[in-house]
Amino acid sequence: MNHSTPEQPADIVARLRATYRTGRTKPVEWRTGQLGRLRAMLTENGDALAAALHADLGKSATEAYRTEIDFTVREIDHTLDHLAEWLRPEPAPVPAHLGADATAWTQVEPLGVVLVIAPWNYPAQLLLAPMVGALASGNAVVAKPSELAPATSAALARLIPAYLDTDAVAVVEGGVPQTTALLAERFDHVFYTGNGTVGRVVMRAAAEHLTPVTLELGGKSPAFVDRGTDLDVVADRLARGKFLNAGQTCVAPDYVLTDPDTAAALEPALERAVEALYGTDPAASPEYGRIINERHFDRLSGLLDSGRTVVGGTGDRASKYIAPTVLADVDPESPVMREEIFGPVLPIVTVPGLDAAIDFINDRDKPLALYVFTESDGTRERIAAETSSGGLGYGLPLAHLTVSDLPFGGVGESGTGSYHGRWSIETFSHRKAVLSKPLH
Binding to ligand NAD, residues 9-48 (CB under 6 A): none
CB 307 within 8 A of CB 330: yes
Of 183 and 263, CB closest to ligand NAD = 183
Judged by CB under 6 A, the residue of 63, 226, 340, 413 near ligand NAD is: 340
- The mark string for 92-121 relative to ligand NAD (x by CB under 6 A, - otherwise) is -------------------------xxxxx
Smallest gap from Cβ 34 to ligand NAD, in A, equals 22
406 is a contact residue toward ligand NAD (CB under 6 A)? no
> By CB under 6 A, which span of 65-73, 193-201, 235-243, 314-322 interacts with ligand NAD?
193-201
CB-based contacts of 36: which residues, under 8 Å, 6+ apart?
80
- The mark string for 119-138 relative to ligand NAD (x by CB under 6 A, - otherwise) is xxx----x------------
- Per the annotation, the verdict on 340 as an active-site residue is no
CB 190 within 8 A of CB 206: yes
> By CB under 6 A, which span of 143-151, 259-267, 272-280, 282-290 interacts with ligand NAD?
143-151
CB 207 within 8 A of CB 186: no
Judged by CB under 6 A, the residue of 94, 201, 277, 411 near ligand NAD is: 201
CB 155 within 8 A of CB 49: yes
Binding to ligand NAD, residues 411-440 (CB under 6 A): 415
Question: Across the strands, what pairs with 325?
Answer: 345
Cα 137 from Cα 132, distance rounded (Å): 8
Cα 75 from Cα 133, distance rounded (Å): 9
- Tell me the CA distances in angstroms from 175 to 7, 105, 178, 250, 433, one per residue in order: 16, 43, 6, 20, 39
Find the catalytic residue in 63, 185, 216, 413.
216
- Per the annotation, the verdict on 250 as an active-site residue is yes
Which candidate, 221, 291, 224, 225, places its Cα nearest to that of 250?
221
Of 112 and 123, CB closest to ligand NAD = 123
200 is a contact residue toward ligand NAD (CB under 6 A)? no
Judged by CB under 6 A, the residue of 70, 77, 109, 147 near ligand NAD is: 147
- The mark string for 215-234 relative to ligand NAD (x by CB under 6 A, - otherwise) is -xxx----------------
By CB under 6 A, the count of residues binding ligand NAD is: 28
Cα 300 from Cα 302, distance rounded (Å): 5
Find the catalytic residue in 250, 267, 340, 426.
250
Convert 37-72 to b/e letters by CB count within 10 Å (16 or more is b): bbbebbeebbeebbbbbbebbbbbbebbbebbbebb
Cα 439 from Cα 71, distance rounded (Å): 51
Of 252 and 274, CB closest to ligand NAD = 252
Which candidate, 60, 65, 13, 248, places its Cα nearest to that of 148?
248
User: Strand 189-193 to strand 113-117: parallel, antiparallel, or no bridges (unpaired)?
Assistant: parallel
Judged by CB under 6 A, the residue of 139, 146, 374, 404 near ligand NAD is: 146
Smallest gap from Cβ 416 to ligand NAD, in A, equals 10
Positions marked active-site: 216, 250
Which residues contact ligand NAD (rule: CB under 6 A)? 117-121, 126, 144, 146-148, 175-176, 179-180, 193-195, 198, 201, 216-218, 250, 340, 342, 368, 410, 415
